[in-house]
Amino acid sequence: MRFEDILTNDSVLDGLYDMHFDNCTPIQEAAIPVVMEGRDLLACAQTGTGKTAAYLLPVIHELVEGGYPEDQVNCVIMAPTRELAQQIDRQLQGFSYFMPVSGCAIYGGTDGYTYEQQRKSLKAGADIIIATPGRLISHLNMGYVDLSKVSFFILDEADRMLDMGFAEDILQIISHLPEERQTLLFSATMPPKIQQLAKKILRDPVEIKLAVSKPAEKIEQRAYICYETQKLPLLKKLFKEEPPSRAIIFSSSKIKVKQLARELRGNSYKVAEMHSDLDQIKRDDVILDFKAGKINVIVATDILSRGIDIDDIEIVINYDVPHDPEDYIHRIGRTARADRDGKASTFVSELDFGKLRQIERLLEKEVPKAELPEEMGKTPIYNKEAPARKKHWKPRNGKKPQQFSNKKQSFNHKKKTNRNINKNTSQDN
């Protein structure tokens, strides 16, 4: 379906034309009419399917058509990270280029000047506010933010926000909103905690679920079973055979990210790091350099698994298997976006077999296993069957063994035991 078949405002269509948006993705085709009807919405679709446009376009369309207060905040969009808030703001600027719709991104990690600009936008009443929960609450606590006229409340990447512990913050923000509003909840996965939140904040919602918790079909997935010591040589071998032009490597910790980036720089690759130790200006520079082709590889923690909108990432490499199988979906969802092809390779050590099995259960299929080069030597043997569960101790007569509530009790018990042993030894002597 084409956008012109469901959107009628010429200014909105002009903005889409200039951004080369012609045909709707499935989530856009399903969600836009629902939003324009004024219904609450619970939408779940895989990453890279165009969820942002699915809620921005109908909201912009309704604001342009009129009937909403001027000099008031009419729409609040919540995002879990600064990167995602910035991405949404950029898309808003593009879609609303020909329209008098104002927007402002509200997030932390900024200087005093940026904070003051955010304050002015909130006081003046920008039409659309895109905010991270913590920073919006800090502005609300100052007393100059009026959300009493908000007509649209949108949660983007809701599952990620709950994973990051923002549930209470979201409910606190909702307490500042009017009862009569349209609420839209978008998520890439649908765990039970999302369903519980939806029951609290949505009213008779329309539910849209497209390929829940599944990566895009065009991603070529493969897993390399290897020892931990084989990972770095394997990575260098793969990059030597197929030099990366745009790749993201995910690792489990900041320390490993820094070490891995240093190793790759030593091999003359154009590499940048992305982790929580970097300030916002540095993070922005990394993304801009990556988009401009000044760097070819980003080594990152899961801070980059969401909130980056770059369509031509060729390969994602999981140097470490993520702890949560749903994070695997988000990581590899950085590639094969906008109907492009992509590759995702995962290095699996013997300690990660259980995590890989969880991922395969979530995917409802096996991740194809790739052979390591012969010169790298023997590899672990992967057993796709889950190991037998350990038998738990069953108390006799309903009694449990004595448990020590703290280290002091345990230490005193050991001292008492040692005294008894010494006493018995003295008697024997």
Tokens of 358: 């969880």
Residue 140: which pLDDT band, with cuts at 50, 70 and 90?
very high
Contact between 64 and 99 under an 8 Å Cβ cutoff? The reply is yes
Residue 428: which pLDDT band, with cuts at 50, 70 and 90?
very low
Higher pLDDT, 385 or 30: 30
CATH 3.40.30.120 is the classification of domain 219-376? no
pLDDT at 407: 42
pLDDT at 389: 41
Higher pLDDT, 369 or 329: 369
Residue 210: which pLDDT band, with cuts at 50, 70 and 90?
confident
Using the CB atoms, write b or e for 251-268: b if 16+ within 10 Å: beebebbeebbeebeeee
What does the alpha-carbon distance between residue 79 and residue 170 come to, in Å, rounded to a whole number? 10
For the stretch 220-247, pLDDT in tens is: 999 999 999 999 999 999 999 999 999 9
Q: Which of 184, 216, 191 is nearest to 53 (CA)?
A: 184
Residue 37: which pLDDT band, with cuts at 50, 70 and 90?
very high
pLDDT above 70 as % of the chain:
87
Outline where 223-365 has alpha helix (H).
Answer: 231-241, 254-265, 280-292, 325-332, 353-363
For the stretch 314-331, pLDDT in tens is: 999 999 999 888 889 889
Q: Is the pTM of this model over 0.75?
A: no
pLDDT at 293 over 50: yes
Outline where 96-219 has alpha helix (H).
Answer: 112-124, 133-140, 158-163, 167-174, 192-201
Contact between 254 and 301 under an 8 Å Cβ cutoff? The reply is yes
Residue 211: which pLDDT band, with cuts at 50, 70 and 90?
low
Q: Which of 348, 152, 97 is nearest to 234 (CA)?
A: 348
Fold match between domain 3-210 and domain 219-376:
yes
Contact between 214 and 326 under an 8 Å Cβ cutoff? The reply is no
Question: Out of 76-85, 189-198, 256-265, 385-394, which region has the weakest mean confidence (pLDDT)?
Answer: 385-394
Specify the 3-state DSSP secondary structure of 58.
helix
The DSSP secondary structure of 306-330, one letter per residue, reads SS---TT--EEEESS--SSHHHHHH
pLDDT at 254 over 70: yes
Question: Phi then psi for 387, rounded to 5 degrees?
Answer: -65, 155
Mean per-residue pLDDT over the chain, rounded: 86
pLDDT at 301: 93
Higher pLDDT, 391 or 40: 40
pLDDT at 406 over 60: no
Per-residue pLDDT, averaged over 103-130, amounts to 91
Question: Out of 56-70, 222-236, 273-287, which region has the weakest mean confidence (pLDDT)?
Answer: 273-287
Q: Match domain 3-210 to its CATH number in 3.90.79.10, 3.30.465.10, 3.30.930.10, 3.40.50.300.
A: 3.40.50.300
What does the alpha-carbon distance between residue 43 and residue 157 come to, in Å, rounded to a whole number? 10
Domain chopping of the chain, boundaries: 3-210, 219-376
